[in-house]
Amino acid sequence: MEKYVSQLIEDIQDATRYAPEDVEFSSNDEEFMGQIVEAENTPPISSEKLMGLMYIQFPPAEKLTTRQMIELNKAIEKTFVAFRIFIELPGTVPIQLRYELIRGLFKEKFQIKKGLNYHLDFCSGDCPPCAIADYCRINIENKKKAAKQTPEGF
């Protein structure tokens, strides 16, 4: 598996060559608005078409060592930055869960907007079914507030 993971990391790093060039936005208001409208109307694209990478290339977490998951996460996140895709997960999310969440992104389509950033925080706003609810600062704070407001004995 070590050789496969090393090759996969090379493929991930190589994917940066597909990253779009930065867009220089116009200082003219009308042209700027046209650029924004164009960016907003960019259709979603699969990771395969965008980066040449597919979900099936990424082994499930249980087949990897912790070190391999860390290395894959770092390579993916670094490559995503080249595409202006930013993954925002709490640092307390366990490595295995982090890897599986990031791996799952390769099943999705990306809404890449030329010149604009794309942030992925894995938050749907609905805490109970959320995979990272136990690590989310806002969810933890809400639980503490709710506990303070609940009368004793209930």
* Cβ 86 vs Cβ 22: under 8 Å: no
Alpha helices in 15-114 (DSSP H): 29-40, 47-51, 66-82, 95-104
Task: Check whether residue 33 and residue 98 sit in a common domain.
Answer: yes
Give residue 150's pLDDT.
Answer: 65
Task: Check whether residue 99 and residue 141 sit in a common domain.
Answer: no
Residues of the chain with pLDDT under 70: 124, 150-154
Which element (helix H / strand E) includes 148? helix 137-149
For residue 139, give the amino acid letter. N
Task: Check whether residue 93 and residue 135 sit in a common domain.
Answer: no
pTM, whole model, 2 decimals?
Answer: 0.82
Give residue 134's pLDDT.
Answer: 83
What are the tens digits of pLDDT across the range 52-81? 999 999 999 999 999 999 999 999 999 999
Question: What residues does 5 pair with on adjacent strands?
Answer: none
Task: Check whether residue 13 and residue 69 sit in a common domain.
Answer: yes
Give the domain range for residue 105.
2-122
Q: Could you give the CA distance from residue 132 to residue 21 in angstroms, rounded to a whole number?
A: 33
